[in-house]
């Protein structure tokens, strides 16, 4: 991760706006004496008993597993500001301090399921395309996308890892909550989620990130080669998703946070059209 951009877009929510940080001022080691980030943590987070204490010095296990909360970062050891006792975003400045809408000081861990199948025509044949006349024909993938209720952007149906939860459970649970209707035969869902492949584990350039709290995620790939399994699993938006659809994959898609990178890793894995 070189620099982040989505977590520097000025509007944060209806109550807060970030201060502007130019590309060259993102790294902490670049001097920026005039830096005046906006301090913000939503009242919802401040009131939530499941969120961390507003006092960051109450957290004694930064960079460690703290009871059931994993406070380690995929980027390595992150620094703690010795004056404020707050963790510092490993990528750099964001124009906002505090936790914004995030529960934890430091890393907030999520899981993202990339669920794919081949795009087929009416006769069940896999559709192939090529980028230009010099390119090889490649099969086209479809993936399950949801439209987020909070900002209307299209995204993977991912979510936060619950305390003590294994990420392989998170991706399945979140997929069910956000993209499936209730009452689908569990055996189909179990089969779909039985052979997941880890694509990525990384810092996420999430619009909610601040200088002291940020998202990290593990993206897991679940591919239905024949399409027979996913044919049995109807999509239905739920929870924080407004829509859930099978979406054809190509490089022009615009997705939430860095979900496009996650999707591209699945495309490369299967040598599919991009």
Pick the closer one to Mg ion by CB: 146 or 233: 146
Pick the closer one to Mg ion by CB: 13 or 240: 240
Task: Determine if 255 is a binding residue for ligand RP5 (CB under 6 A).
Answer: no
Q: What are phi and psi of 266, to 5 degrees?
A: -70, -40
Pick the closer one to ligand RP5 by CB: 30 or 46: 46
Pick the closer one to ligand RP5 by CB: 140 or 146: 146
Pick the closer one to ligand RP5 by CB: 155 or 233: 155
Asked whether the beta carbons of 140 and 271 are under 8 A apart, the reply is: no
Residues engaged in binding Mg ion (CB under 5 A): 159, 174, 239-240
Task: Determine if 206 is a binding residue for ligand RP5 (CB under 6 A).
Answer: yes
Q: In angstroms, what is the minimal distance from the CB of 44 to ligand RP5? A: 13
From 33-41, 54-62, 120-128, 155-163, span contacting ligand RP5 (CB under 6 A): 155-163
Figure out which of the listed residues 51, 69, 110, 263 binds ligand RP5, where binding follows CB under 6 A: 110
Q: Which does 92 bind (CB under 5 to 8 A by kind): Mg ion, ligand RP5, none?
A: none
Task: Determine if 210 is a binding residue for ligand RP5 (CB under 6 A).
Answer: no
Figure out which of the listed residues 51, 156, 213, 249 binds ligand RP5, where binding follows CB under 6 A: 156
Task: Determine if 159 is a binding residue for ligand RP5 (CB under 6 A).
Answer: yes
Return all residues near 248 (Cβ < 8 A) that are at least 6 apart. Answer: 119, 140, 141, 142
CA angle 213-70-268, nearest 5°? 80
Q: In angstroms, what is the minimal distance from the CB of 91 to ligand RP5? A: 13
Figure out which of the listed residues 215, 237, 266, 267 binds ligand RP5, where binding follows CB under 6 A: 215
Residues found near ligand RP5 in the complex (CB under 6 A): 110, 112, 155-156, 158-160, 204, 206, 215, 217, 240, 257
């Amino acid at each position: 991760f070189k620099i982040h951009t989505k977590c520097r877009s000025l509007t944060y929510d209806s109550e807060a706006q970030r201060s502007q940080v130019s590309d060259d001022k993102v790294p902490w080691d670049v001097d920026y004496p005039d830096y005046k980030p906006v301090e913000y943590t939503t009242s919802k987070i401040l009131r939530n008993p499941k969120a961390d204490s507003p006092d960051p010095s109450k957290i004694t296990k930064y960079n460690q597993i703290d009871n059931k909360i994993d406070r380690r970062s995929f980027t390595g050891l992150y620094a703690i500001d010795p004056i404020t006792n707050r963790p510092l975003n490993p990528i750099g400045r964001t124009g906002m301090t505090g936790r914004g809408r995030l529960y934890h000081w430091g890393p907030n861990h999520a899981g993202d399921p990339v669920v794919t199948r081949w795009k087929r025509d009416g006769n069940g044949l896999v559709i192939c395309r090529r980028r230009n006349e010099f390119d090889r024909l490649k099969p086209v993938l479809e993936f399950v996308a949801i439209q987020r209720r909070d900002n209307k952007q299209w995204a993977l149906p991912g979510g936060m890892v619950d305390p003590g939860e294994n990420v392989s459970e998170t991706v399945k649970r979140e997929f069910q909550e956000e993209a499936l209707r209730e009452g689908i035969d569990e055996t189909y869902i179990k089969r779909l989620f039985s052979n997941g492949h880890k694509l990525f584990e990384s810092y996420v350039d999430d619009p909610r990130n601040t200088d002291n709290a940020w998202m990290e995620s593990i993206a897991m790939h679940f591919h239905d080669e024949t399409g027979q399994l996913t044919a049995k699993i109807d999509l239905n938006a739920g929870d924080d998703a407004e829509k859930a659809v099978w979406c054809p994959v190509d490089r022009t898609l615009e997705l939430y946070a860095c979900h496009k990178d996650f999707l591209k890793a699945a495309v490369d894995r299967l040598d599919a059209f991009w």
